Structure 1
């Protein structure tokens, strides 16, 4: 992957040497001819031979006159191109450092080499050195949007969240429509920098027309982190209605968000629709969640029916006891007594106390004498 990326960079021309004929000071014709020939060989894939010859010439020309030093810098840049094309970005960066530190090199050319060295160091995983070089370069080239995004990624790798957020601020100031990957980076950086509202606003802005489920999930998660469950469930509900969020796991998440967001009746309706459409497995977990949702919504008839269906399915003393207590509280004494007796028969001793409250203490039958 790294070699491919570097090869792409070379192909776009950002590591190719400038035309010697237009550079100052003027170079002898033999230097120009050899540099052009070596550049052509590099383009044909003769990497190691070009590298070796370029480094040899750079070493030979060290300490010469102004023309020699300029030629040496160009040979070093050519060697950097060979190193990059061979998938060795750290070595390529070192060659460019030597080139730009050569005495007499014009400021504009040093500036270009600094940008290229920064990119190579970042590609080599040298995030700190690369970020420092790139930040210095961007201070003079504030309109380079790609550079600001690249710097933000480097600073994020260094966990310098505030600085990364500032870099993203500068990028967004001149970026009208950031890509999905850039939005994701910005959102992550803003969150880590403690700017959650900005992160959520950025993610929200990218949701319109988005068919990326991850973006919708991220937006809902951010809203929850900000303590706004209502907003989280609204985002998820919209994604569900648009068919971006689908499947059993997303439906379960929608239900739990509705419960957390204070809309349990909507959660119950989604559960019933999921069960009816066989999107959810008709098992104990789904049925229990349905009963709990209707209970939270205080939909009394539906809640009691759901709890009774669950208790019949599980035959659990705990479920029968809960049904009995709920029925008693909601003024359904017949159902309460039946459920409590079922709970008692299944070993729940507290059911007896509830039965005493419901029916009164059990008294001896008349005619029975004490012994």
Structure 2
């Protein structure tokens, strides 16, 4: 509680320096005497004497009420240093009520009261007071004060209010720091604003970001329907070496297939097959064939389908290879593939061969 005491003490010195209405000399002397006691840690004595003086003066003229407010501040300071933030906050509230035309000082007390309420566990009231202070014309606010309220509301799981104040916090900030980005990300996720959450993550990503941040960004991109961005993020993380596990390898392929970049998926598969990083089995070759097919790379797609059919020795694979060759005007390849499929017992291959024989050469 030493921090709150220091804040209140500084506020009192500022009040003396700019006191209006003017205080009588004996009152100023008494306030200074109590300040000395406060510095000497005579907290109980300060509370007792300041309270007596505050009560005595609160019903007087403007100068008396201003003096009463300053005595309440001294009592608040002493109570805060004794570890009684709730009681200290109550005294500052009374000081504000007595402040009269001293709006700038009342605004400072409002901010200090908010912090004391927070320390006392009076979280709802603390947030309301800080919001009131931020809206005050007499408040000397900073971006950090906006972030503080956003953080308080998030800590209390008042997510929509936190989101509202987050927008104001960002408006006060040229470039959020790492802690502010983390707070913004949590608030956006809690309020299901995935696009905004993704923007926050993208703004903080760089070559030094760890795997968790790259995964999180890719997941948010998927949630917001931006599959291409998800694929690009995963691809970047893979090339940076942040992702290198086997399941992450296959997620990379899946994202490229979903994100509209199947050729990139196929290139990775061919690279890994050549290096022996993945097994040359039916599942891998089927994925490769489909990737080149989606990429509309006719030569590579047909070669991949042929390789798959030769490995699987399945009539349906030979037929699909033949159908694709026929659709792309590769009649000779189509005939060989369909003939092979028919020899392996595929029921539909004969119909396709008949269609091929009846069609003009290279009609499709």
Q: What TM-score do you get using the length of structure 2 for normalisation?
A: 0.66
Q: CA–CA distance in 1 between the matches of 2:48 and 2:247? A: 63
Unaligned runs of 5+ in 2: 58-63, 294-300, 325-333, 352-364
Residues 229 and 291 from structure 1, CA distance in 2 versus in 1: closer, same or farther, beyond 3 angstroms? same
Structure 1 position 95 matched with structure 2 position 88: yes
Offset, 1:283: 9.9
Residues 174 and 17 from structure 1, CA distance in 2 versus in 1: closer, same or farther, beyond 3 angstroms? closer
Q: CA–CA distance in 1 between the matches of 2:76 and 2:158? A: 33
Offset, 1:135: 1.1
Offset, 1:138: 0.6
**Matching residue within 170, 177, 180 for 2:178:** 180
1:64 maps to what in 2? 56
**Matching residue within 281, 288, 297 for 2:283:** 288
Structure 1 position 167 matched with structure 2 position 165: yes
Residues 163 and 68 from structure 1, CA distance in 2 versus in 1: closer, same or farther, beyond 3 angstroms? closer
Residues 278-299 of structure 1 show CA distances to partners (whole Å, capped at 9, x for unaligned) of 7x67598xx7356324324322
Residues 157-183 of structure 1 show CA distances to partners (whole Å, capped at 9, x for unaligned) of 556555434423322233111112322
2:359 maps to what in 1? none
Q: CA–CA distance in 2 between the matches of 1:117 and 1:249? A: 53
2:151 maps to what in 1? 153
Unaligned runs of 5+ in 1: 1-5, 42-49, 84-90, 313-319, 341-353, 361-371
Q: Which piece of structure 1 moves more, 192-201 or 113-122?
A: 192-201
Residues 65-96 of structure 1 show CA distances to partners (whole Å, capped at 9, x for unaligned) of 2446632431222321442xxxxxxx414412
Residues 249 and 58 from structure 1, CA distance in 2 versus in 1: closer, same or farther, beyond 3 angstroms? farther
1:317 maps to what in 2? none
Residues 104-150 of structure 1 show CA distances to partners (whole Å, capped at 9, x for unaligned) of 34433332222123234445664432221111111124752011112
Contact 1:264–1:293 under 8 Å retained in 2: no
Contact 2:230–2:255 under 8 Å retained in 1: yes
2:220 maps to what in 1? 222
**Matching residue within 84, 98, 108 for 1:104:** 98
Q: CA–CA distance in 1 between the matches of 2:125 and 2:171? A: 25
Partner of 2:125, secondary structure, is helix
Q: What TM-score do you get using the length of structure 1 for normalisation?
A: 0.65
Residues 153 and 288 from structure 1, CA distance in 2 versus in 1: closer, same or farther, beyond 3 angstroms? farther
Residues 121 and 63 from structure 1, CA distance in 2 versus in 1: closer, same or farther, beyond 3 angstroms? closer
Contact 2:218–2:233 under 8 Å retained in 1: yes
1:301 maps to what in 2? 303
Q: CA–CA distance in 2 between the matches of 1:148 and 1:98? A: 25
Q: Which runs of 4+ in 1 moved over 6 A?
A: 275-278
Equivalent residues in 2 for 1:38-57, closer than 5 Å: 38-39=38-39, 41=41, 52-57=44-49
Q: CA–CA distance in 2 between the matches of 1:237 and 1:92? A: 52
2:328 maps to what in 1? none
Structure 1 position 115 matched with structure 2 position 117: no
Residues 250-297 of structure 1 show CA distances to partners (whole Å, capped at 9, x for unaligned) of 43332221121132332243345456667x67598xx73563243243
1:138 maps to what in 2? 134
